[in-house]
Structure formats: structure tokens, C-alpha cells
Structure 1
Amino acid sequence: MSEQPDHEVVVIGAGFSGIGAAIKLDDAGILDYVLLEEGDGVGGTWHWNTYPGIGVDIPSFSYQFSFEQRSDWSRVYAPGRELKAYAEHCVDSYGLRSRIRFGTKVTGASFDDGEHLWRLEIGDGSTVTARFVIGATGVLTQPKRPEIAGVEAFAGPVIHTARWDHEQDLRGKRVAIIGTGASAVQVIPSIASEVEHLTVFQRTPIWCLPRPDAALPWPVRAALSRLPGAKLVTRIASQAFVEATFPLPAHFHGVLPAANGAERLGRAHLRRQVKDPELRRKLTPEYAVGCKRPSFSNTYLATFNRPNVTLETTPIEAVAETGIRCADGSEHDADVLILATGFKVFDQGNMPPFPIRGRGQVDLEDWWMEHRFQAYEGISVPGFPSLFLVLGPYGYNGASYFTLIENQVRHIVRCLKRARRDGSTAIEVTPEANRRYFESMLARRGRQVFFQDSCSVANSYYFDRHGDVPFRSSLTLEAAWHSARFDLDDYRFTVADGAAVEAAAGA
């Protein structure tokens, strides 16, 4: 080994995953790191997504780091601008801004077997080298355009919710919106009152549950800030609510009948919100709660009562210059087309987000294509040493992303501290450990909602190209326990000449 890397650790992404990783690297005394961020600001999702009505879809008390809790959220469900501000706050409070290289897009990564380092290719043609790499890009980053003929031919403005064009004024316009997923649930009620007419094209209805939202006036915020234990009690209640509304019904469907209760709640909410029986029928999902992530809104369903809003469920045949033509021959004129069609998730080019070549220059996308999506504890893949994924396959259980980030970073930092102590230059999960974890996830399928018959009609992005759903089938507490106690001997710690470093117990 002769070449020294530019940095001990490179973190790819300056969203909350990258921010959380950087804070914990500092805490561990691992100071030689840099964050590479494609955009010109921090916050990831909350930097790129600025569409009308954007906000967090779980209570704000859960959507924050446990070690940096705010008590001044304006609402139980904070608007997007406050999440963006929270990201900026974390970056400045922990002194991370000087460690971030903005406008730096990683276009490829290759592991050097001989030197035990990663070579990261940058969009400007330069290269950054690192001993260890933390992938913190998330998966909800690349907008997905619909595969519908003629989208490019539309004569008016075409706006994807993930890249909102604030130069466009929708007032008095005829607007068509394709999609009724999470972003559409927030956009539709936010723009319906200002447009001349809004036509919503729905392929699959979404379960919409009542949102326990409320403004948090100053006396409430003051009490949360000053009363001993108030933050803790609020967070525990919030975490319990989040766990009950997705991880429990999704992963314990065959054990706990929580999903049935959620469906009853959703149907009752729909009856209260929508007057017309035919509209209610069209807005009622045929799949179980959990096949797709449910949404929470007190205004989305009621928007369809408005005389200037049309729900169209006939399949789209094509987009024309002046509007949208459906399969039954009907045409809907529009001045503006909004694509609320979500993100690339398991699409090629997104998992991973750029070509990654491990030992022997094996391509990670090809490896996953052959062996199915899998990663030990959702973090490490055999054959790809010193690469750690914050949101790898079977890492996320559907609760708060912040608990995911803290759990995964705890795991990663344990590995890095062990390597430092032992003088290791590469960390690689063993195939046996990876197989054991993957098989344990597959063994839990029987109790998950995803593999029940009704999910076949959900059109859910949860399903990958192999027909798997790479969610971690566990409660959040179980994931936290494993992150702090997994066996470090599930990894091989080696030096550049390939000699094994003797593992020390108790790290």
C-alpha cells in the first residue's frame, strides 16, 4: 500500500442522512471526512421538493434527531420550509458547512483492491479518493416521469412535483395532475381553490387517514421547551403513533389485526369527507392498508367535492399538445400539466444511484440483479468493502427516517472505530453473515401485508423487479438493538496486503 486517500471517509449526500452521519463521525473523533452534495443546499428531500402544501407526513416530534429536538415547530405536522430550516440549523449548530462540497455530483465509484480505497468519479471529471464511503443519497431523489406517450409534446408548462417551477402562476389556469400519491395528496388541496379547473388523473386510489394535526401556539411550544420531561413524553407518544400506523400493520399483518382497524378508520374518514357515493367508490382502495404507504390529510378527500375539480379514473391513452386523451376517447384540455408521479426507487440507475464497482470490478447493480436486492442489516454488501449504505435493502422498516439514520449510523461508526483501533484499511461483511440476515428477512414474509393477495392491485413502488419488498421486517426497537449489538465478527477487517486483522471482542 502506497497511496494515501484524500479523506478517511467520504459521505455522499448532504440530506438528513449525510448530516446525521457527519455529526456522529465528529462525535466518534473521526474528523477526516467530507460531504459531497450534488445540489446547492442541504436538506435533500426538503431542498429539492418545494411544491405547494409540502409538509412532513408523520408528526414533527418523530421527524427529527433524538439528540437535536426542536420544541418550536409551528404545527404537529411541520410544513416543508421548517424541515429545510431544521437541516440548515443542524449543519450550522454542528459546524458542518465547511465540510460540504456543493455542486459535486458523484457519477461513479470503484474500489481499488490493491490500495484499499475507493475512487469516486465526479461530474466535472475529477476524482476523490476515500478509505471508506458512506452512501447517504437516499432513494427518493430522482423524479420519475410517467411512461405515457406524448408527455414531451404538451404545449404548456410541465411541472414535476419534485422540481416545482415557482415561476408558473396557476391562478385561473386549467390544470391536469397525473398521480394520487403522497405528493399529490398535499398539492391537490393546496391549488384547487386558485385554479380555474383541476382534473386529477388517478390510476390507483390511496388510503387517506385523518391527520391529527394542529397548530402549536406559543404557550404549547414554551411548555414543551421548559417543562421537565415534556419533550420526552411528546416524543414517546409520537413514536408510538408512527409505529402503529405503518410498521405494525405492515410487518405484523398476519399476527396483529391493526390493518383492519386502519381500514375502518380510512373508510369512515372517506364517508365523512366525500358526499357523492360514486366518488367515494372511485376513491376507495381495493388493497389493504400497508401495501402502499397511507397518507394523512384532512383536506385531500374533501377537495373532490369542489365543482371545479374532476376525478378521472379512465386510463390515459396519450398526452396531446392541448391536454390529455383517455382510453375511452374523452379529452381533457389543460394549460398546465403537473406530474405527481413520484421517484425512481428500484429502477435501474437509482439503486445504486451511480455505477459502483467493488472487488474485481463487479458492478453492484449487476450483483443485485443476479442475487436480488439485499444488504446486511440494510448497510453492507459482500464484495463491496468499506462501502456503507444508510438506506440499503432491508434497512428501513417504514417508521421515521430519523430513527433509521441514527440506527444505521450507529452501526457504521462501530465498524469504523473497530477498524481504527485495529489498523484495518478495509471492512467487508462476510457472505455468511449477509446470507443469514437476508434469509431472516425472507422468513418473516408470511406475516407481512405486502404478500397478501390484495397487494397485487396496489401498483406499489415497494415491490422491486424481483417481486421482493426490501423493507426491514421488524419493530424500530429491534432495529435499534441490533445496531448497537450486532456481532462485529460478521465483518472481516483487513489491511492492504490482504492479511486478516485479528478481531478484538467487545467493540
Structure 2
Amino acid sequence: MAPRHHEAIIVGAGFAGIGAAIQLKRMGIEDFVILEREDDLGGTWYVNHYPGLAVDVPTTTYSYFFEPNPNWSRLFSTGTEIKQYADDVADKYDVRRHIRFNTDVEGAHWDEEAALWRVALGGGQQLSTRFLFTATGFLSQPHTPDIPGIGDFEGTVVHTTDWADDFVADGRRIAIIGTGATAVQLIPELARTAADLTVYQRTPIWVVPKVDLKFGPRIRTLFDRIPLTQRAVRAVTDAIYAFMVDTAVLKHRYFRRFNIAAADLAKLHRFASIRDPELRRKLTPDYDFGCKRPTFSNSYYRTFTKPHVHLQADGIERVEPDGIVNADGSKTVIDTLVLATGFDLWEANFPAIEVIGREGRNLGKWWRETRFQAYQGVSMPYFPNYLSLASPYAFLGLNFFNTMEYQMHLMDRLFGEVRRRNATTFEVTEQANARYLDRMTEALGDSLFTLGNCASARSYYFNPAGEATLLRPMTTRRAVTEASQFPLSDYTFA
């Protein structure tokens, strides 16, 4: 029996997949399916539901520009509200009926003779499609640290991406590994009721105070009845974030003082929260502010001043059935191990599935043998009719929705030309891809990632070769303009 065919297939039902689906509908394409491995939509905002989960970008900014939400309860909304927003948008634009949940995608390959993609699913099933989109997100493959003995621990093990809702920290002796943005939110919550909490830190994180305003009923009513008021608030939060990224990060050569000022704010925050100079020293990063994604918290530093909370920054020797042997030879006896160890961004996520293009080119292998690269952050030569929405040079600033917005503009322009030419395929040229890679490399020359002290940051912004190829080194305005005006000659149509 021939595999079922769709005009388009989207892999992933997070905000990128939902945005791509909305854009397909705008372009009149209704014969598409979204393949999602989980049993619900929302991506990372469905998978993650640990205590304290909240967005670290103002929710007035962290949303589709075309779909403002007047119902946010505060400036930095909770994970529950973000998930509800995903549900509401999917329902409003009739996206949910296109989703196949609990569907594992094993890989896709380009059938040159038929000029379509063959998509392999778990269990041996296969689909075919004219257009393929991978919307698997940047943070979708959980990382488990390779620590000797970690599989021998006999107590409770919880990864933040697989949080048990019935887990209760009351009276437990807990060790948490990791001090990234997730841990900064989780640690104060665990410390409230745990009998003992030891935090294992490999790399300190820059933390600045959080100005989190509540949106009361009157404000929400105002946003609902006069949408322009919420647009005005968004304009302010957008401008603040754009200024921070465009100056201190992208134009670090000229605006280094802004970066230093942000670090000074974090230092003052740390000093006001912690009086012990040795503890402050251990929590102080030795890399420049911004090399690794910083975060906001008013309670993280203060948590370490509590008598039952301990910072272990000397490293782990091994894990034993009843605890952790530290690098200094001491042992921490625990009954619960929490892994806030983030994601396999480059090794397991670029790409998240095996993608084989023309002439057998393997995308993951090609990236690793040459350089991580993608024209406009979405297209690669030898991969016709394929847009990878989580690729090198795709992530824009600190806000994923900005990324999705420019990609929707690009889809509109690209598919408009496909229709105009009555074409069957599109593919970026090798020359255009090479020019774009050169331009991104040159632009990064002025950035914090090239000029700053980032060696010890262990940041996922950098690929295994040490290149900062995750972020797109340009302003949001510039990216949207390019997505709407890129030379159509950069693609071949047939």
C-alpha cells in the first residue's frame, strides 16, 4: 500500500510548528499534518512543568505579534499560562485537528525520482509529502550527565523535563545538578520544604533582579477592550530587549560599557543578597555577562543563605546508591537526585531527526563535517522543499517568537514565488548559502561571542567547534525585512 501523502508535513507541535501551520493556512494550504511525539501540543511548555516554571522574557513580548493575549496575569507569566496560550492559539486558528499526537518521527529522505519527501515513523509506517518542515525547537532533547555511577543511585531521580506532578519535596534530602535558568527557578521552590538541599554547580550564572508586575483585572480588561494599550506595553518591552541584544551583545565592540553595566547590576544584586564573601565568590561567573544566557530572580541568591541549603562547586567524583561522592572526597547522602542539566542542543538536536537530501547528503553529517550553516536560518543546499525552523543562525535575540515571526514572513515570500512560477520544488543555491555564511561570520566579528571573555561559559550558544552559530547576529527589524525581501534568485525553482 502506498504511503499516505500530504502537501506538507510539520514535525513538532510547539510554538514553531503552530506558527508554521498558521502560515500554511494563510497561504491556502490545508492538506498538512503536524507530527508530535508527545500527547499534547505546546512543545517545551508542555514537557516542562516543574515548580517555579515561568518565562524569562516579558509575556507582552513572548507571544505572536499577530495574536496578543490580554489575559496574562503578570509581566513574567507562569508556564501554565504559556501552555494555555498555546492551546488558545491552536484552537483559534484550527490547528489542533491537523496534529497527530504520540507519533515518533525517525527520519526523512528526499525521493529524487518522485520529487517528494518520504517520512519514516516509529513502527515502520511511512508518509510522503511535497514540503517538509522540522519545528523541533532548540530545547527538545533532554541531557543526562555522564557521571560515573549515576545509574546506580537507588533513590528518586527526577529530570526537570520529566517532572512528576505528585513529587513532594517535604522532608527530603535532595541534590540538584545544574545552575542554569531552569535551576534558578526551581532551587528556591525545592528549598521551601526540603530537609536538606545541595546544589551542584559547574558554571555560575549571571542573575539580575526581576521586576515582575502583576496585571490585575482592570489592566487585563483594558488590554482586552483597547488592544492598542497592550501593543504600547509590548513596544516598550520589545525596545528594551532589542536594545540590550543589539548593543551589548551584537555590537559589543562599540557598546562594551552596557555589558559591564549589566554585570555590575548582577554583582550588586549578589552583594545585597549574600553577605558571605566566599559564597559570593563561588556564585560569581568568570565569563562576561551574556556569553551564557543570563536570567532573572529575586530569590535565587537568598536561597543559598538558608542553613539547610549548600553549594557544592568543586565537582562530582561519582554517584553511589545512597549519595554523591564529591571531588574533594566528601560524600553527600541524599534520597532524591534532581537533574536540571538542560538539553543536548548540538549533538542531538541539529537535526533532531535524520534528514537525507539530494544525492544522499546527510544533514547532520554535513553540518559536522563542514560548518553549521543555514541560509536565512532555514534552508540548506541539497535539501529541496525543506525548511528547518530550528537551525544555525535561526534564533533571534532572546525571544523565540521573533524567530517564528521572521520565518513566517520568509514562508510567505518563498511559497508565493513557488505558486507564481507554478513550480514543484525550491532549493537554496550553494552560492547564496556560502554568501550568507560569510556574512554571518563577519557580523559575529563585532559581537560579544567573538570579542568577549566566553571561554569558560560552557554556553549552548556555541557549537562543538566553538563557533557562536545559534543566534542570528542582526536586529529583529532587519531579520523580518530580509525575510520579506531576500533575492528570489537565491533559490532555484523547478
How far the C-alpha of 1:48 sits from its partner, in A, is 0.3
Deviation per residue, 1:316-363 (Å, 9 max, x gap): 11111111111110111111000110001001x321111110001111
Say if 2:159 and 2:338, in contact at 8 Å, map to a contact too.
Answer: yes
How far the C-alpha of 1:270 sits from its partner, in A, is 0.9
How far the C-alpha of 1:75 sits from its partner, in A, is 1.0
Cα 1:177–1:247 shift into 2, 3 Å? farther
Distance 2:452 2:293 in 1: 17
Normalized against structure 1, the TM-score is what? 0.95
How far the C-alpha of 1:8 sits from its partner, in A, is 1.1
Task: Report the residue type matching 1:205 in the other structure.
Answer: P
Distance 1:244 1:158 in 2: 41
After the TM superposition, which residues 322-333 of structure 1 pair with which residues of structure 2 at under 5 Å, given as runs? 322-333=322-333
How far the C-alpha of 1:453 sits from its partner, in A, is 5.3
How far the C-alpha of 1:160 sits from its partner, in A, is 0.7
Distance 1:246 1:211 in 2: 18
How far the C-alpha of 1:24 sits from its partner, in A, is 1.3
Distance 2:191 2:297 in 1: 15
Query: Paired residue for 1:497?
Result: none
Distance 1:245 1:73 in 2: 24
Task: Report the residue type matching 2:314 in the other structure.
Answer: T
Distance 1:4 1:154 in 2: 45
Query: Paired residue for 1:179?
Result: 178
Distance 1:120 1:492 in 2: 23
Distance 1:414 1:426 in 2: 14
Distance 1:7 1:255 in 2: 50
Distance 2:328 2:185 in 1: 29
Say if 2:62 and 2:400, in contact at 8 Å, map to a contact too.
Answer: yes
Say if 2:250 and 2:447, in contact at 8 Å, map to a contact too.
Answer: yes
Deviates more, 1:395-404 or 1:10-19: 395-404
After the TM superposition, which residues 64-463 of structure 1 pair with which residues of structure 2 at under 5 Å, given as runs? 64-227=63-226, 229-257=228-256, 258-347=258-347, 349-452=348-451, 454-463=453-462
Corresponding residue SS for 2:484: helix
Query: Paired residue for 1:500?
Result: none
How far the C-alpha of 1:265 sits from its partner, in A, is 1.0
Distance 2:401 2:195 in 1: 40
Corresponding residue SS for 1:455: coil
How far the C-alpha of 1:398 sits from its partner, in A, is 2.5
Task: Report the residue type matching 1:11 in the other structure.
Answer: I
Deviation per residue, 1:269-315 (Å, 9 max, x gap): 11112121111111111111111000111111111111110011111
Task: Report the residue type matching 2:423 in the other structure.
Answer: S
How far the C-alpha of 1:181 sits from its partner, in A, is 0.2
Normalized against structure 2, the TM-score is what? 0.97
Task: Report the residue type matching 2:483 in the other structure.
Answer: S
Say if 1:247 and 1:397, in contact at 8 Å, map to a contact too.
Answer: no
Say if 1:323 and 1:335, in contact at 8 Å, map to a contact too.
Answer: yes
Corresponding residue SS for 2:127: strand
How far the C-alpha of 1:459 sits from its partner, in A, is 1.3
How far the C-alpha of 1:4 sits from its partner, in A, is 9.8
Query: Paired residue for 1:503?
Result: none
Corresponding residue SS for 1:193: helix
Over the matched positions of the two proteins, sequence identity in percent amounts to 42
Alignment root-mean-square deviation, CA: 1.4
4+ aligned runs moved over 4 Å, structure 1: none
Cα 1:325–1:435 shift into 2, 3 Å? same
Corresponding residue SS for 1:255: helix
User: Residue 9 in 1 paired to residue 14 in 2?
Assistant: no
Corresponding residue SS for 1:457: coil
Corresponding residue SS for 2:439: helix
Corresponding residue SS for 2:192: coil
Distance 1:398 1:272 in 2: 29
Task: Report the residue type matching 2:304 in the other structure.
Answer: F
Task: Report the residue type matching 1:337 in the other structure.
Answer: L
Distance 1:210 1:227 in 2: 31
Query: Paired residue for 1:37?
Result: 36
Say if 2:396 and 2:402, in contact at 8 Å, map to a contact too.
Answer: no
Task: Report the residue type matching 1:445 in the other structure.
Answer: L
Corresponding residue SS for 2:453: helix
How far the C-alpha of 1:180 sits from its partner, in A, is 0.1
Say if 2:7 and 2:129, in contact at 8 Å, map to a contact too.
Answer: yes
Corresponding residue SS for 2:89: helix
Say if 1:368 and 1:374, in contact at 8 Å, map to a contact too.
Answer: yes
Deviates more, 1:246-255 or 1:186-195: 246-255
Task: Report the residue type matching 2:426 in the other structure.
Answer: I
Query: Paired residue for 1:488?
Result: 488
Distance 1:36 1:228 in 2: 34
Cα 1:427–1:293 shift into 2, 3 Å? same
Task: Report the residue type matching 2:124 in the other structure.
Answer: G
How far the C-alpha of 1:228 sits from its partner, in A, is 5.9
Distance 1:102 1:141 in 2: 16
Corresponding residue SS for 1:109: strand
Say if 1:175 and 1:195, in contact at 8 Å, map to a contact too.
Answer: yes
How far the C-alpha of 1:247 sits from its partner, in A, is 4.5
Cα 1:149–1:245 shift into 2, 3 Å? farther
Distance 2:148 2:340 in 1: 16
Corresponding residue SS for 1:456: coil
How far the C-alpha of 1:446 sits from its partner, in A, is 2.1
Distance 1:228 1:466 in 2: 46
Deviates more, 1:444-453 or 1:140-149: 444-453
Corresponding residue SS for 2:338: strand
5+ long unaligned stretches in structure 1: 495-507
User: Residue 52 in 1 paired to residue 51 in 2?
Assistant: yes
Distance 2:320 2:422 in 1: 62
Distance 1:145 1:439 in 2: 35
How far the C-alpha of 1:249 sits from its partner, in A, is 1.9
Distance 2:318 2:239 in 1: 44
Distance 2:180 2:362 in 1: 32
Task: Report the residue type matching 1:151 in the other structure.
Answer: I
Say if 1:248 and 1:475, in contact at 8 Å, map to a contact too.
Answer: no
Distance 1:228 1:334 in 2: 51
Distance 2:121 2:314 in 1: 44
